[in-house]
Chains A and B, each alone.
Chain A
């Protein structure tokens, strides 16, 4: 058992980890803010249309938009955007290092490539996905508030009083668990494709593309499994 557990030991590299947290997290903030701001606006329009169609009543639109953001769109859209931004980069970087034998050089220097390359990116990716998910929910709800005051005639106070009508704090915790799972999938799958890159420059591009496609697919499947586990069981 002890030998098995030692396989999960790693050396925490502070400098590389902070670098990755900055690159993956802080530098992704602008794209997340813009994208999820528009998602929030879109949700208000769509939910208002559907609720008027079915119930002829749109007072609960802020509540339903918050539920949708917290349960699904917040972690999923954020992590899909992160996949396209950082997944391809990780796969390409590691793939290039494999082709230029930098990984072999690391091994010669008794540096485990997983420790040196994957672990900091994993920590950075989980940090980025969790923090950016929270930021994305806040931005989407704020964007929704702006449109709701214009389109639905709701006052800001009324909007924020009703926005968490159906959302409870355990839903937010489950949202963060989803974000952490997706944040784990991104560097693991990207690093896998990078480490298994064979051939020339074209292989690096292929690895990056495959990393993004497969990570996106895995995120969607994992989202279904986690939603089933949290809400349907």
Chain B
């Protein structure tokens, strides 16, 4: 048998190198999440209209902790109604069983980005403790991420319309701005000029009137005032139903000349 200087067979060292490499590949696979023979996982299906860059293998996190990954993405050929809403994507996600108690029926499934240039991942916000735990195989509706491109496109459209409006009404806008400028100048003159003292006095009077009104309304909320008010209201109602000729005759008998109503 061929041997090296140490007396060990060359086959032994070749075999050791091969085994070492196999162990390294298993470690790499475990670190990447490709293999996890000791982990038990639950599967959920999340429906989206827009996945925002999520790919197969993208991580799934609960409260920021990685607990699984996206295992499959399916395009629904005919959009499916979920709670009266049409969706076009179905993502299969695997979540470690240690994190499943935090995933409730009112949990929200967001598409987030790790850092400024990080990869996209699905963030599951833990639901409330009163909601039941999501069962294995459940289907939920995810929260579509904002379409930045659509927002930009819409913003561009709105900005274009504003520019068109300003172009069409340039003269009117100019007159308006000139008028506003003159108004501000006049107001400035008043505030700085001889009328300033009168204006300050007017403001002081208004201040004291509002103070008095406030005091009156506070007093009117008093229970005795309310009672008085109710009595007056009752009296007026009774007076309203009294016949006019009867009043006229009474006043004539008393010798009072009055013009009624």
Q: Which A residues contact B (CB, under 8 angstroms)? A: 15, 18-19, 21-22, 25-26, 29, 55, 57, 59-60, 127, 130-131, 134-135, 137-138, 160, 163-169, 172
Taking A22-B10, A164-B32 as known contacts, 16 extra A-B pairs with beta carbons closer than 8 A to each other, sorted by chain A number, are A19-B2, A19-B10, A21-B10, A25-B14, A26-B13, A55-B116, A59-B115, A60-B117, A60-B118, A134-B25, A134-B28, A135-B24, A165-B118, A166-B119, A169-B34, A172-B25
User: Is the contact region of chain B dominated by helix, strand, or loop, or is it mixed?
Assistant: helix
Task: Let me know if B29 is at the binding interface, CB within 8 A.
Answer: yes
* The 5 nearest A-B residue pairs measured at CB: A169-B34, A22-B10, A131-B21, A26-B13, A164-B32
The answer to whether A57 and B25 touch across the interface, beta carbons within 8 angstroms, is no
In the complex, whether B18 has a CB less than 8 A from a CB of chain A is yes
B29 touches A18 (CB 8 A): no
Inter-chain contact count A-B, CB under 8 Å?
67
Q: Which residues of B contact A (CB under 8 A)?
A: 2, 4, 10-11, 13-14, 17-18, 20-21, 24-25, 28-29, 31-32, 34, 57, 114-119
Whole-angstrom distance between the Cβ of B187 and the nearest chain A Cβ: 49
Beta-carbon contact of A22 and B14 below 8 Å: yes
- B116 contact set on A, CB distance < 8 A: 55, 57
Chain A min CB distance to B173 (Å):
43
A27 to B119, CA, bound (A): 40
**In the complex with contacts A22-B10, A59-B115, A165-B119, A172-B28 CB distance below 8 A:** yes
Is there an interface contact between B24 and A18, defined as CB atoms closer than 8 Å? no
Cα separation A21 to B13 with both chains bound (whole Å) = 10
B114: nearest residue on chain A (CB-CB)?
A165
